[in-house]
């Protein structure tokens, strides 16, 4: 009986650990999802990488200092199914980005949607 328990128990334990780990990875815990913030600046980079895309946005604060905001986006496969490509957002563009800000207060957050200067809206994530 113990060998049978071991044969069944190990795979069940492994699957449980993998499943809970995947839930933790897709957590929104780092972001204040009760607050939406709009930041405007110049796109410095758009990284089309797994597991999440990333956007670096240079924002000029009211005191004139430039601050780079690190914004996390959805996965490339998610965005690709919605028509995005690695050139949907281009460095040099000026964009107003709606985000869920980081809980820590640091300059960053989760990219929800962006509005270009011409009014075109790109939606990365809606919730």
HEC profile for the chain? CHHHHHHHHHHHHHHHHHHHHHHHHCCCCCECCCCCEEEEEEEEEEECCCCCCEEEEEEECCCCCEEEEEEECCCHHHHHCCCCCCCCCCCCCEEEEEEEEECCCCCEEEEEEEEECCCCEEECCCC
Predicted confidence pLDDT, tens digits, the chain (127 residues):
455 555 555 455 444 444 444 444 557 799 999 999 999 999 999 999 999 999 999 999 999 999 999 999 999 999 999 999 999 999 999 999 999 999 999 999 999 999 999 999 999 987 6
Domain boundaries, the chain: 37-123
Q: What is the pLDDT of residue 126?
A: 79
The superfamily (CATH) of domain 37-123 is Nucleic acid-binding proteins (2.40.50.140)
- Rounded to a whole number of angstroms, the CA Rg of the chain reads 19
Q: What is the pLDDT of residue 100?
A: 97
Q: What is the pLDDT of residue 13?
A: 46
The reply to whether omega before 51 is within 30° of 0 (cis) is yes
Q: What is the pLDDT of residue 12?
A: 54
């Amino acid at each position: 009986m113990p060998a049978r328990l071991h044969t069944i128990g190990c795979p069940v334990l492994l699957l449980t650990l993998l499943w809970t780990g995947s839930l933790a990875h897709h957590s929104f815990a780092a972001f204040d999802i009760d607050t939406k913030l709009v930041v405007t600046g110049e796109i410095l980079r758009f990284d089309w990488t797994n597991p999440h895309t990333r956007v670096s946005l240079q924002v000029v604060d009211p005191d004139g200092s430039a601050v780079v905001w690190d914004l996390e986006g959805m996965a490339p496969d998610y965005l690709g199914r919605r028509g995005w490509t690695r050139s949907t957002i281009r460095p040099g563009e000026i964009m107003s980005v709606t985000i869920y800000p980081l809980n820590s207060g640091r300059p960053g957050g989760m990219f929800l949607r962006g509005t270009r200067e011409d009014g075109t809206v790109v939606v990365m994530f809606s919730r």
